Amino acid sequence: MQAINITNLSKTYGSYQAVKNLNLTVEKGELFAFLGPNGAGKTTTIKMMTGLLEPTNGSIEIGGINVWQSPIEAKKKIAYVPDQPNLYPKLTGWEFLQFIASVFQIEEEVFKKRADELLRKYGLIDRSSELIEGYSHGMKQKIALCGALIHNPDVLFLDEPTVGLDPKSAKTLKNHLREICNQGTTVFLTTHILEIAEQMCDRVGIIRDGTVIALGTIKELRELEGRSNASLEDIFLELTGDEEAKELIQELSKEEQGESK
């Protein structure tokens, strides 16, 4: 079953075409990475998919619902954590989750149980009565993620979710994303680091200059690269993580090899 179906999607800013005629489907329960260098069009695409930026052309369906024709219905099914989440600094972590839950009309008892589970998972339970303004960058990322998950979305969109996380939190995120995908949620995340996509996701779409240039598992794409696909070779070089990301990738790969949880 298709969770996301994008057809002929384009976005033009003035005379600049940031996304060019994009076609893509993501299956239910899939953990999909949209991988590309800075300025490739990842955020523009994710904003169109979440109903925040109107496409110049094309359509986006979430679970068969057109995001731009039935925005309320579609938005009930999705959650989005931008790379710079907008939070309410004068709310506590708990109050923030309560606010999101009220928007989605979640019953109080269900909310309390979910909020408690999520805050424990992300190590925020002891800080949940503190104001968000006192949270570190990583804690803000994590409370935004808890807020996104509070209504149990069918499709979760994450823009550069590992930026600002320490290696341990990144691993918690990875394990949790896998868990929710196993339960049927679909995750669509963006990253500009190849190894992050490789460690966290089932399948990737590589975007460059607003066009998807390759689609498949990283293993499949590496095989293609080996068969003298010059553009993939170039892009793989471009998408390698920096020193800071290397530590994080190391931690993510440990779990892959079953060394630790």
Ligand X SMILES: Nc1ncnc2c1ncn2[C@@H]1O[C@H](COP(=O)(O)OP(=O)(O)OP(=O)(O)O)[C@@H](O)[C@H]1O
Which positions touch ligand X (CB under 6 A)?
A: 13, 16, 18, 36, 38-44, 192
Task: Return the number of other C-beta atoms located less than 10 Å from residue 211's C-beta.
Answer: 15
Question: How far is Cα 149 from Cα 141, in angstroms, rounded to an integer?
Answer: 13
Smallest distance from ligand X to CB 18, Å: 3
User: 3 φ, ψ to 5°?
Assistant: -90, -35
Question: How far is Cα 27 from Cα 145, in angstroms, rounded to an integer?
Answer: 22
Which residue has tokens 């190590």?
123
Q: Is 86 exposed, middle or buried (0-12, 13-18, 19+ CB in 10 A)?
A: exposed
> Which helix (H) or strand (E) is 10 found in, with range?
strand 2-13
Q: Which is nearer to ligand X, 14 or 258 (CB)?
A: 14
Q: How far apart are the first and last CA of the chain?
A: 31
Smallest distance from ligand X to CB 148, Å: 18
Q: Which is nearer to ligand X, 118 or 201 (CB)?
A: 201
Which of these, 194, 212, 236, lies nearest to 45 by C-alpha position?
212
Q: Which is nearer to ligand X, 43 or 128 (CB)?
A: 43
Q: Which is nearer to ligand X, 42 or 142 (CB)?
A: 42
Smallest distance from ligand X to CB 175, Å: 25
What three-state secondary structure class fits 8? strand
Cβ 186 vs Cβ 158: under 8 Å: no
Q: Which is nearer to ligand X, 153 or 210 (CB)?
A: 210
Q: How many Cα atoms within 13 Å fall on the side-chain side of residue 29? A: 5
Smallest distance from ligand X to CB 15, Å: 10
Smallest distance from ligand X to CB 38, Å: 3
Q: Which is nearer to ligand X, 181 or 193 (CB)?
A: 193
Which residue has tokens 């696909």?
229
Q: Is 58 exposed, middle or buried (0-12, 13-18, 19+ CB in 10 A)?
A: middle
- And the tokens for 204? 């990737």
Q: Which is nearer to ligand X, 38 or 257 (CB)?
A: 38
Smallest distance from ligand X to CB 197, Å: 13
Smallest distance from ligand X to CB 13, Å: 3
